[in-house]
């Protein structure tokens, strides 16, 4: 009842290694539970800093029902300038709360969980929305998210036969390409932005604050764009494609490309539907158009993956319990 435990990042990563398909299944179930209305996923809260406009710390509270039935909050910092010092851009913790009593029962280091749920979402979208097996993959961004997405694409059965890596920091692109070649025997190389954007499957995993892929670009029929970083595409491009989102209301904020498209048109008619609606057959995409998947990132996904990791850690005896964490355990 009053047990509180902590799980380190190294243990989290060890638990998830080799269980990528299980994590994808967790994310799939969470999307379907959320679509069914058995969740609470309020707006994320952004703590911003006037002197650091590119940095933020975000609170994502949520409750996920279904078989998970857990509440909690992810507190994740994104400081892009960390990479100049060789540090990861993001750091995070995840608190899990018992739904019956509200008491927190676990604290997990969550940078890996956050990256995994993002990558699992991308891999799920790739297998669900692709019209045929993509022969080429273009990756814009050479950081942790890009690396993790490629790992999950591999485990989801997407062949890494032609991977073109691009980053404005060329050494980052080269490191990603070398990693994919070594880890998965992928045919990967560095490439220009145009070469990467011309692929059948395009992964956008940058830290862009505003669109840099211009409205003049033509998206090919059948092309799938995983718009993970949300702000790379000019809003006009979305109007030429089918648009699948994780949650419509959540995506229409914070100057994401869908939000800019809504402002441009004054409506949401360009939205095709949600990934869950595609999974359940309520919505179909048109193979004669490109498809853009824009996931704002839902707190329920962090809960789903975090709850799964916590359960595995408990079964393997990896949880570090803190005795007497709660100061009072009775009213009187």
Helix (H, G, I), strand (E, B) or coil at 173: helix
3-class state of residue 166 by DSSP: strand
Mean pLDDT of 91-117: 97
Residue 272: name the closest of 254, 250, 255, 294 by CA: 294
pLDDT value for 89: 86
Q: What is the rounded average pLDDT for all residues in the chain? A: 96
Instruction: Tell me the two tokens of residue 317.
Output: 């005896």
What the chain holds in terms of domains, given with CATH numbers, is 5-113+299-321 (3.30.1780.10), 120-294 (3.40.50.720)
Percent of the chain with pLDDT over 90: 91
Residue 50 is given by DSSP the state T
pLDDT digits (tens, 9 = 90+) for 293-319: 999 999 999 999 999 999 999 999 999
The sign of the dihedral angle between the CA atoms of 191, 194, 224, 259 is: positive
Radius of gyration over alpha carbons of the chain, in Å?
20
Largest Cα span, the chain: 69
Q: State how far the Cα of 151 lies from the Cα of 309, in Å rounded to an integer.
A: 18
Instruction: Please report the pLDDT score of residue 236 as a whole number.
Output: 98
| Percent of the chain topping pLDDT 70 | 100
Structure tokens at 31: 């999307």
pTM over 0.75: yes
**Six token digits for residue 112:** 């890996």
d(CA 324, CA 328): 9
pLDDT per residue as tens digits for the range 129-161: 999 999 999 999 999 999 999 999 999 999 999
- What φ, ψ does residue 57 adopt, rounded to 5°? -125, 130
Q: What is the Cα–Cα distance from 143 to 158, expressed in whole angstroms?
A: 20
């Amino acid at each position: 009842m009053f047990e509180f435990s902590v799980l380190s990042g190294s243990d989290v990563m060890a638990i998830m290694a080799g269980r990528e398909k299980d994590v994808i299944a967790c994310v799939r179930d969470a999307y379907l539970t959320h679509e069914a209305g058995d969740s609470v996923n309020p707006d994320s809260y952004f703590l911003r800093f006037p002197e650091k406009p590119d940095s933020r710390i975000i609170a994502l509270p949520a409750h996920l029902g279904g078989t998970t039935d857990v509440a909690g909050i992810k507190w994740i910092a994104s400081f892009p300038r960390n990479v100049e010092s060789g540090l990861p851009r993001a750091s995070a913790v995840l608190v899990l709360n018992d739904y019956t009593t509200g008491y927190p029962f676990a604290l997990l280091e969550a940078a890996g969980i956050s990256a995994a749920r993002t990558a699992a979402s991308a891999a799920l979208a790739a297998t669900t929305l692709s019209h045929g097996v993509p022969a080429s993959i273009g990756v814009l961004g050479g950081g942790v998210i890009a690396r993790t997405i490629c790992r999950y694409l591999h485990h989801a059965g997407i062949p890494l036969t032609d991977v073109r890596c691009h980053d404005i920091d060329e050494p980052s692109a080269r490191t990603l390409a070398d990693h994919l070649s070594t880890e998965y025997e992928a045919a990967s190389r560095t490439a220009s932005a145009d070469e990467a954007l011309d692929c059948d499957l395009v992964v956008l995993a940058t830290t862009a604050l505003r669109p840099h892929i211009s409205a003049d670009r033509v998206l090919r029929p059948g092309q799938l764009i995983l718009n993970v970083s949300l702000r790379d595409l000019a809003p006009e491009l979305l109007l030429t494609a089918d648009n699948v989102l994780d949650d419509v209301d959540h995506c229409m904020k914070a100057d994401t490309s869908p939000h800019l498209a809504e402002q441009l048109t004054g409506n949401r008619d360009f939205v095709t539907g949600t990934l869950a609606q595609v999974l359940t057959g309520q919505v179909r995409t048109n193979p004669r158009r490109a498809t853009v998947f824009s996931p704002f990132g839902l707190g329920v996904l962090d809960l789903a993956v975090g709850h799964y990791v916590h359960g595995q850690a408990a079964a393997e005896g990896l949880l570090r319990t803190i005795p007497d964490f709660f100061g009072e355990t009775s009213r009187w």
